[in-house]
Amino acid sequence: MRSLWFRIWLSFWAIVVATFLVAALIDYGLAVRRARNLDLLSPAAMAESGASALARGGEEGARYWLLGEHNLYPELTIFILGPDGRELTGRRPSEVSAQWAHSARGRTFPAQVSVNPRNRPYRFVFIRDRSLSFDFWDVLLAPWILALVVLSVSGVGAALLARSFAAPVKRLEQVVENVADGSLDSRSGHALTARRDEIGVLARGIDRMTERIGDMVAAKDAILRDVSHELRAPLTRLRAAAELARHRGTNAFERIDKEVDRLDALVGQILRLSRLRAAPEFNFSTVDFSALAAEAVEDLKLEARQARMQVIAEIEGGLIVTGDENLLRSALENILRNAVRFNRQGERIDVLASAERDGVRFEVRDHGSGVDERELHRIFEPFHGEGSGAGLGLAIVSSIVELHGGAVDARNRNDGGFAVAIDLPPAHFGQEENRRSDGVEARR
């Protein structure tokens, strides 16, 4: 049964049929039990009860008594013959005799009991004319027709219900197949995404997934274009320097070495970012973040002094995190070097490291020109992060921080300049939970 429609239809219909059969069995069991209890009845006691009704309410009271007894014991037919031989419910004496002759003979019934309420002779005749009785059948009079109607209605209802489930699933299946075939603009449609049930949630999730895949493919194409552009520029300069060296001697070889170093650094960053996003390799341990941040700041001060900048650091002691020390050092160095690159000459750089309620925060503030607000949301995308450079430093930072279960943020400062901050979980953040980041794409 590969068809979802058929499986839903058959399952629902089977439940209806099973419910119908169980109800019939329960009714049958109650009827059997009631029939067995008839053998325990006393015709004399029942006649005395009928005589009391006659004594209290006359023949009209006796008719009400007969109605109540019939509701209690539908398998039992009771006749009351008066002094004049007339049956109280209007049936002929010959009919009473005929039923007596053809009644089933049992341990208790048929039976006759004579009573004398108000000194008038009455005869009660008790005949068990059926072994079992179904009230349900008595009302509808046609049990097999009823069964056919129930099965037909339930079958049609099950088919409609199955269609209501299978049709949207079929549509979602088609969307997924279109995406698998490369049609990334395929969507579930408003009819499905507007639903508030689980199918609507699934449809919206598939549309978000498809949109995200489309963005990733577009970003990948953009990265390939940017890589080509970034590699073409130094290669062009290398070609020009080689021509110059060919005509003027060896004075241009320093420029060639410089361009080769730039190419080597660029390719190295590209490979590193690719490894971080594809299959990161790291070794988690307890890291003294205070010492790590202080070490990174000390390494930065030499570069800052050459650019006539001052680095002011406020680093709390005792900051402990769980992570890969080498990766965290790389992230801090990238943020700090980015600040030196874009800070105005002579301005200071502020470095803050402190304990927060949810972990550890590291923030670097410069006094540069900041970033265009329209481009701020792309600051951590490859080849968009640092303006004139290759634009991979902050993308690497974002990947490293996310691998550690943290968050990274960048903003323009109100008083001028730019700030980049990372938030890392504290040391009690489980190492095994951190490892869930294997293969996770860096947040953009």
208 and 318 share one domain: no
Signed CA dihedral, 235, 236, 239, 240: sign only: negative
Query: What's the length of the chain?
Result: 444
Q: Pick the residue with more confidence: 123 or 170?
A: 123
408-426 pLDDT, tens digit each: 999 898 888 899 999 998 8
Residue 165 lies in a domain: no
Q: Pick the residue with more confidence: 195 or 61?
A: 61
Q: How many other C-beta atoms lie within 10 A of the C-beta of residue 58?
A: 12
264 and 204 share one domain: yes
Q: Pick the residue with more confidence: 145 or 337?
A: 337
pTM score, whole prediction: 0.44
Residue 5 lies in a domain: no
327 and 424 share one domain: yes
For residue 257, what are the domain limits? 198-278
Residue 235 lies in a domain: yes
302 and 361 share one domain: yes
298 and 229 share one domain: no
DSSP annotation of 125: E
**Span of 204-218, 251-265, 355-369 with lowest mean pLDDT:** 251-265
338 and 379 share one domain: yes
296 and 359 share one domain: yes
332 and 358 share one domain: yes
Asked whether 396 and 330 are in contact (CB, 8 A), the reply is yes
Residue 1 lies in a domain: no
Residue 175 lies in a domain: no
pLDDT over 80 at 248, yes or no: no
pLDDT given for residue 320 in this prediction: 92
pLDDT given for residue 364 in this prediction: 93
271 and 294 share one domain: no
When the pLDDT of each residue in the chain is averaged and rounded to a whole number, the result is: 76
DSSP annotation of 319: -
pLDDT over 90 at 362, yes or no: yes
315 and 423 share one domain: yes
Name the 3-class secondary structure at 187: coil
Contacts made by residues 355-358, CB under 8 angstroms, sequence distance 24+ = 355/316, 355/318, 355/319, 356/423, 358/423, 358/425, 358/426
Domain final residue, candidates 117, 139, 161? 139
Cα separation, 280 vs 271, in Å, equals 11
Q: What is the mean pLDDT of residues 377-387?
A: 64
pLDDT over 80 at 211, yes or no: yes
Contacts made by residues 44-50, CB under 8 angstroms, sequence distance 24+ = 44/113, 46/78, 46/113, 46/124, 46/126, 47/113, 47/115, 47/124, 48/115, 50/78, 50/80, 50/115, 50/122, 50/124
pLDDT given for residue 444 in this prediction: 27
Q: Where does 107-224 show beta strands of DSSP type E?
A: 111-115, 122-128
Residue 330 lies in a domain: yes
285, two tokens: 């341990």
pLDDT over 70 at 4, yes or no: no
Domain final residue, candidates 231, 262, 278? 278
215 and 256 share one domain: yes
Cα separation, 203 vs 205, in Å, equals 5
Residue 188 lies in a domain: no
pLDDT given for residue 192 in this prediction: 80
Residue 266's CATH number = 1.10.287
pLDDT over 60 at 172, yes or no: yes
Q: What is the mean pLDDT of residues 134-143?
A: 48
Domain count, the chain: 3
Domain final residue, candidates 263, 278, 293? 278
346 and 394 share one domain: yes
Q: What is the mean pLDDT of residues 177-190?
A: 80
Residue 370 lies in a domain: yes
